[in-house]
Amino acid sequence: MTTTATAPTRAYVRDRDFRRLLFTRFSAHWGNGMYQAGLAGAVLFNPERAADALAMAGGFAALLLPYSIVGPFAGALLDRWDRRKVLIFASLLRSFTILATAVAVGTGAAGIGLFSLALASEGISRFIGSGLSASLPHVVEEKSVVAANAFAATWGSVLAVVGGGCAIGLRALTGADDAGSAWVTAVAALGGIGAAVLASGFAHGLLGPSTVDEPSNPALAVARGLADGAKAAWRTPSVTAGFVALFAHRASYGISLLVTVLLMRNHFAAGMTGLGQMAAFAGAGILVAGLLTARLLRRLGRVRVVVGALVSAAVAQLALGLPMVVPAALLAAFLVTGAGQVLKLCVDSSVQLDVADEARGRVFALYDTLFNITQVAAVSLAATVIPDDGRSPGLLITAAVLYLVGAAGHLLAVRKRRTADKAPPLALG
């Protein structure tokens, strides 16, 4: 990789297959951002509905926990099936579930029916995301994986924010009631359709897996997903240490997200517009993180970058979150989300570079699973003590402490694993 930020970018962006995978990600992320913002508007900021903190926590659980259970098994499928076909069919299936969700919103459905459709759509979305991440090393040279992942993940996240902005803008035209929310949600299906069309342009087998380390019995292959993903992650020191850091981030971020939504809705009375501003600042943080992460890794190394991101997030929570005023909250969103993106890019690159291709999908799926469970647990616990207006200094201090605990845990994990076998990328078996 060259020492400049632009030269390597030009090199892999010129590659046709990388561009196609990139645009597939863009379409999927745009649709995901629009869907999530549309659904949030329908449930949280809809005058025909109401949701308190516990209801929000229930929504998080309904959206994230079911996929957290099946995710590792889905990972086994990513390491067994042609990932091109997975991306095509999963994207089309997601568009169908988005349209079904829109119908449910428009007819006033609530509770388990609406959440079931939402969890199906979000579960498929995360499956697609794992497939995109596992496919990346097949379309760029190994030396460019870190930079290419940072570029793709960062701009994908920015497109998700753009999708959310589109949802907010469209909502202003269609209205905030059930009918208007349904139209906004339905438009998000275009993202999945676009992703499927783009993925269909790949040659069969191009995205991997290159080799299949699976039993001949598909049911046994699926059932072995969780154990194999955990085994590959544990045997890879860089991945283990990264997981510790991301555990802390997802727990802290979940608490902060709940506080932010309640503050915007009930204390600042900023509504969807305020939440859109928060998303814009968060998106800017993601963009800056993407531009800086590869350079920081070259200069400082992964351990210093991860610890620095965790400490920076803790400081931002305390210095900017505790005042609980809109300008400081927006700046906190920029810094905390940016730090979280740095952490994600570091762990993504560890999995892509240090885990063998035949295990990579399972590790990514396990990664998603564990962090979903962590975030749901944190949000659920916070929901039991947070006041209705979201003003809870104690929770923000707890979030900051979690970041510091994550930094200490990451350093401890690195120290304990430095004596591990420094073998080439690990295969399962």
Q: Would you say residue 112 has pLDDT above 80?
A: no
CATH of 6-417, one of 3.30.70.100, 1.10.8.60, 1.20.1250.20, 3.60.40.10: 1.20.1250.20
Q: For residue 426, report the phi and psi dihedrals to the nearest 5 degrees.
A: -85, 135
1, 147 Cβ separation under 8 angstroms: yes
- Rounded Cα distance between 320 and 20, Å, is 40
Cα-Cα-Cα-Cα torsion 237, 239, 241, 247, nearest 10 degrees, comes to -160
For the stretch 78-94, pLDDT in tens is: 777 889 999 999 999 99
**pLDDT per position as a tens digit, 353-363:** 888 877 787 78
pLDDT tens digits, residue range 172-183?
899 878 888 899
How far apart CA 309 and CA 336 sit, in angstroms, is 9
Q: Rounded to whole angstroms, how far apart are CA atoms 156 and 341?
A: 12
User: How many Å apart are CA 58 and CA 70, to the nearest integer?
Assistant: 19
Residue 288 CB contacts under 8 Å (≥ 6 apart), including other chains: 334, 338
Neighbours of 338 (CB within 10 A): 26
Whether 328 and 277 have beta carbons less than 8 Å apart is answered as: no
C-beta of residue 127 within 8 angstroms of C-beta of residue 34: no
**Average pLDDT rounded to a whole number, residues 389-407:** 95
| pTM for the full predicted model | 0.75
pLDDT of residue 220: 66
